[in-house]
Structure 1
Amino acid sequence: MAERNHEHANDNENERATAAAELGTFVAELSAADVPDEALRLAERAILDTVGVTLAGADTEAATAALAAVGDSSGNATVIGREETLGLTDAVFVNATAGHALDFDDVALAAMDGHPSVPMVAPLLAVGEREGASGRDVLTAYAAGFEAQCYVSRPISPGHYEGGWHATSTIGVFGAAAAVASLLDLTAAETTHALSVAASMPAGLKRNFGSTTKPIHAGQAARSGLTAALLAAEGATADPTAIGGNRGFADLYRGDDDPDFDRFPELGERWALLTDGIDVKKYPCCYYTHAAIYAASELAREQQLQPEAIDAVDVTASQGAADALHHDDPQTGLEAKFSMPYLLASALVRRSVGLAAFEAKTIAQPAVQQVRKRVSLTVDSDLPYDSNEAHVTVRTRSGETYERRQERPPGTHEEPLSTTALHEKFNMCAAHSPEAVDTGTARDALNNVRIAGNVADVLELL
């Protein structure tokens, strides 16, 4: 997005102080007519994809724990993929946790180093269901939330993520607050307060990657952002400089470098949805592994590689990848999602990495474990910290060497998954839902949510 050039230090200080108010005004005044049609369509694809991975994640350990933890909550809000209904905030917590449980939800690394949709879609659908909102209203609110996440993250990225914060949670809370504020039609002042309340709520540590707490980060961000907007709607106030002001969010969550407030984007001039965009995951695991998985899978297919013939596998990737991938010898499905050796072995042995790759019996498969022990990850210091590029080299016992460099994972904003591939992913995810779903009907309704008069009708299908 366009960046501002400030001539005077006092202009920069004013920008800091008025960040929440500027963002609040943008969100409050945004209408569907303001959002480019292409951006609305991207939001629609994102909601379809997020609901799909939520269906698949509804019966996971993290989602089941979240559901049990809310206890006897009662209400009319839909729990996606379950027959239960819950109170509004509890349903949002459970749904967002389920949506991130498989690490199959979309990412926006160019914009915010995180997963943008999962903290927003759960509260948007739940509030939309309660309010009888139209699909177009929900898509507009999604756009507001996405732009808000990019706005808040720009001055502190990538240092924020490098410092150990999980941006899906710490930045996602602002997206959820902005999206719900838009859907509730809050005033500019109320929306500013909602965002400033949200500034007291960010949390989430990368140290917890590979555990059930990681998807719970998404649940807490969605619930906290929703709560911030509901509080503002009821008259709660917060310091309007809480995002950009001295010792506000940006100062405290910045990482090692000072916040660069010249990077605040021109809201509504260039749309982050269109320029930075959304990357849709092809594999249900850490995004830093996707280029390497694709490269390994292609090498295995092209060269007809057999597990017993593989002598060594070397992969080079960014420092960001090395920081996120903690588990060389994973013992659980969640750990396996953050294991470059296991994922490369799975790609080489099975030619793909799907949902079944994270089941205990699959992880323990002898051929995969044999290859896993031969995989080594090295940091390429020439790559930017958050690069997703990977270079895979496979050496065979007979002396051949095969290699492939993959600059980007499949499914990026620049080279998106086809509609057919996106629908196939939804179908696969829906098949894992604990409650039966009429997959075709649900998929078509979500794929055309822009024409829905009431999103509650769409949620009935889930």
Structure 2
Amino acid sequence: MRGVVRAAFVDTTACMLAGRDEPVTTQVAQWAGLRSDGDAMPLPARADESALAPALAALVNATAGHALDYDDVGLAGHPSVVLVPALLAVHEADGVRGFALVQAYAKGYAVWAELQSRMTVHLHGRGWHPTAVFGTVAAAAAVASARGLPASQVAHAIGIAASSASGLIANFGSMTKALQVGRAARAGLEAAELAACGVDASFDALDGPTGLLAALAGPGNARLEADVEEGFESTLLRIRPGIKKYPVCYAAHRVADGVLDLKAEHKLMPSDVTAVDATISATTAGVLRHHAPATLSEARFSLEYVVATALVHGALGLREVDERSLADPAVRALMPLIRTHITDTRCPLEPSFAYEDRVTITTRDGTIRDSGPIRFARGHAQLPLDEAQLRDKLWACVRADEEALAMAALDRIDAALAA
């Protein structure tokens, strides 16, 4: 279990470092009082090296971690970018470490999994952002565990968090997508703090007839009476988070893998391509809602941009996904050639996805190159990255002269999680 949690902490820290200079991060940090104009930004923000309250440190770090949409995936959302910043803030403020920190992450993750398992509809389709909604409650549970709150206060923390849980698909492609994730980390941590101070909440705020699950899902669409059937450790080991290879919406990753493979295998040039056909789920298509992106934030949620960038550059890393590629005439010329087709099949492990995606590329000579079925994206728990690939991602998230910063981040994580 510790290895899974360590990978989550390493990957999230890498994403926080990569996103620290993004406009949404700098503006949220300035609001939080972490920087003033002209000052350097000390990110990841630390609750033990400044006057920054733990909840504000969690807000800034989670916003940074989600700013590039590069953070890990699982449970129809991004679990670690909410849980890790909240727990790092508690570690730095209170000295919580070792198994207590590992266990707290696993408990928060299990709470998230339990909430998701009770939904019989997909939150994305109802306009809710699961990371911001379930992440708030999961962070409250994780922080309450880390701080050793008694069961009654844990229940109150979860109830308080339920009243703070919110986030909208409508804000995908804007700064607020990252902000609502930052707010989830902050609200979850604050819920645990408030419960510890004696603030109470209703015990049916989650699963009551007028509680969070019923409100999110709509009448009859949540299993309110179901029993909890699995322990937190087995939940984490059974449904491990996946590490993202590309700094774009995860809904596009399967197709991106297929396009990159076809380009490499057949040595395709952008000028060869006359059509790209991608078969995906309706939910995935709804999330990838920006068909003619005007900003890089929108481009991360544009299948057209992702496919075109992959075809032009043959890669889809931080160097390729940038303002230059968004303005590149070669990328723009390819975007109208991408067509989406919907399949009604469902993946039992990731219900918002199709059972498998598929992509075909048609070239000027009439040849159709077929990816075949794409069951999982690279980096998914079924196709995990190894330790070397995880380190490579960390190095890619910092500038060439910042290797010492990356090493220090690794050392801090290992010290925090050490037994």
Asked if TM exceeds 0.5, the reply is yes
Paired residue secondary structure (1:67): helix
Say whether the 8 Å CA contact 2:277–2:340 is kept in structure 1. Answer: yes
Instruction: Report the Cα distance in structure 2 between the residues aligned to 1:367 and 1:84, rounded to whole angstroms.
Output: 46
Q: Does 1:443 align with 2:403?
A: no
Instruction: Report the Cα distance in structure 1 between the residues aligned to 2:221 and 2:289, rounded to whole angstroms.
Output: 28
Inter-CA distance 354–84: structure 2 relative to 1 (3 Å threshold)? farther
Q: 1:62 aligns with which of 13, 17, 24?
A: 24
Instruction: Report the Cα distance in structure 1 between the residues aligned to 2:67 and 2:251, rounded to whole angstroms.
Output: 17
Q: 1:139 aligns with which of 97, 102, 107?
A: 102
Superposed CA offset, 1:320-353 (max 9, x none)? 1111011111111111100001101111121121
Aligned counterpart, 1:330:
293
Say whether the 8 Å CA contact 2:106–2:232 is kept in structure 1. Answer: no
**What's the offset of the Cα at 1:146?**
0.6
Instruction: Report the Cα distance in structure 1 between the residues aligned to 2:268 and 2:259, rounded to whole angstroms.
Output: 10
Paired residue secondary structure (1:102): coil
Residue ranges of structure 1 left out of the alignment (5+ in a row): 1-38, 453-462
**What's the offset of the Cα at 1:256?**
6.6
Q: 1:316 aligns with which of 279, 282, 293?
A: 279
Q: Does 1:358 align with 2:321?
A: yes
Paired residue secondary structure (1:124): helix
Instruction: Report the Cα distance in structure 2 between the residues aligned to 1:85 and 1:439, rounded to whole angstroms.
Output: 24
Instruction: Report the Cα distance in structure 1 between the residues aligned to 2:50 and 2:261, rounded to whole angstroms.
Output: 42
Aligned counterpart, 1:431:
399
Q: Does 1:419 align with 2:387?
A: yes
**What's the offset of the Cα at 1:99?**
0.8
Seq. identity, % = 35
Inter-CA distance 95–269: structure 2 relative to 1 (3 Å threshold)? closer
Inter-CA distance 179–73: structure 2 relative to 1 (3 Å threshold)? farther
Instruction: Report the Cα distance in structure 1 between the residues aligned to 2:239 and 2:228, rounded to whole angstroms.
Output: 12
Q: 2:130 aligns with which of 142, 167, 170?
A: 167
Instruction: Report the Cα distance in structure 1 between the residues aligned to 2:227 and 2:129, rounded to whole angstroms.
Output: 21
Instruction: Report the Cα distance in structure 2 between the residues aligned to 1:256 and 1:400, rounded to whole angstroms.
Output: 50
Say whether the 8 Å CA contact 1:152–1:171 is kept in structure 2. Answer: yes
- 1:386-425 to 2 correspondences below 5 Å: 386-387=352-353, 389-404=356-371, 405-425=373-393
Aligned counterpart, 2:156:
193
Say whether the 8 Å CA contact 2:376–2:382 is kept in structure 1. Answer: no
Say whether the 8 Å CA contact 1:332–1:358 is kept in structure 2. Answer: no
Say whether the 8 Å CA contact 1:160–1:255 is kept in structure 2. Answer: no
Instruction: Report the Cα distance in structure 2 between the residues aligned to 1:370 and 1:256, rounded to whole angstroms.
Output: 46
Q: Does 1:53 align with 2:15?
A: yes
Say whether the 8 Å CA contact 2:173–2:297 is kept in structure 1. Answer: yes
Instruction: Report the Cα distance in structure 2 between the residues aligned to 1:221 and 1:305, rounded to whole angstroms.
Output: 43
Deviating more after overlay: 264-273 vs 180-189 = 264-273
Instruction: Report the Cα distance in structure 1 between the residues aligned to 2:388 and 2:76, rounded to whole angstroms.
Output: 27
Q: 1:106 aligns with which of 61, 72, 76?
A: 72
Paired residue secondary structure (1:357): coil
Q: Which amino acid aligns with 2:22?
A: T
- 1:22-421 to 2 correspondences below 5 Å: 39-71=1-33, 79-80=43-44, 86-108=52-74, 112-255=75-218, 257-261=220-224, 263-268=226-231, 271-383=234-346, 386-387=352-353, 389-404=356-371, 405-421=373-389
Instruction: Report the Cα distance in structure 2 between the residues aligned to 1:121 and 1:72, rounded to whole angstroms.
Output: 19
Instruction: Name the TM-score, length of structure 2 as normaliser.
Output: 0.91
**What's the offset of the Cα at 1:451?**
1.6
Residue ranges of structure 2 left out of the alignment (5+ in a row): 37-41
Paired residue secondary structure (2:275): strand
**What's the offset of the Cα at 1:40?**
2.2
Task: Say how many residue pairs are matched.
Answer: 408
Say whether the 8 Å CA contact 2:258–2:374 is kept in structure 1. Answer: yes
Q: Which amino acid aligns with 1:413?
A: A
Paired residue secondary structure (2:137): helix
Higher relative contact order (CA 8 A, sep 6+): 1
Q: Which amino acid aligns with 1:395?
A: T
Inter-CA distance 421–157: structure 2 relative to 1 (3 Å threshold)? farther
Inter-CA distance 276–400: structure 2 relative to 1 (3 Å threshold)? same
Inter-CA distance 227–260: structure 2 relative to 1 (3 Å threshold)? same
**What's the offset of the Cα at 1:135?**
3.1
Inter-CA distance 174–81: structure 2 relative to 1 (3 Å threshold)? closer
**What's the offset of the Cα at 1:253?**
0.9
Inter-CA distance 73–362: structure 2 relative to 1 (3 Å threshold)? closer
Q: Which amino acid aligns with 1:386?
A: S
Instruction: Report the Cα distance in structure 2 between the residues aligned to 1:251 and 1:393, rounded to whole angstroms.
Output: 41
Aligned counterpart, 1:6:
none
Instruction: Report the Cα distance in structure 1 between the residues aligned to 2:218 and 2:340, rounded to whole angstroms.
Output: 26
Say whether the 8 Å CA contact 1:430–1:437 is kept in structure 2. Answer: no
Paired residue secondary structure (1:378): strand
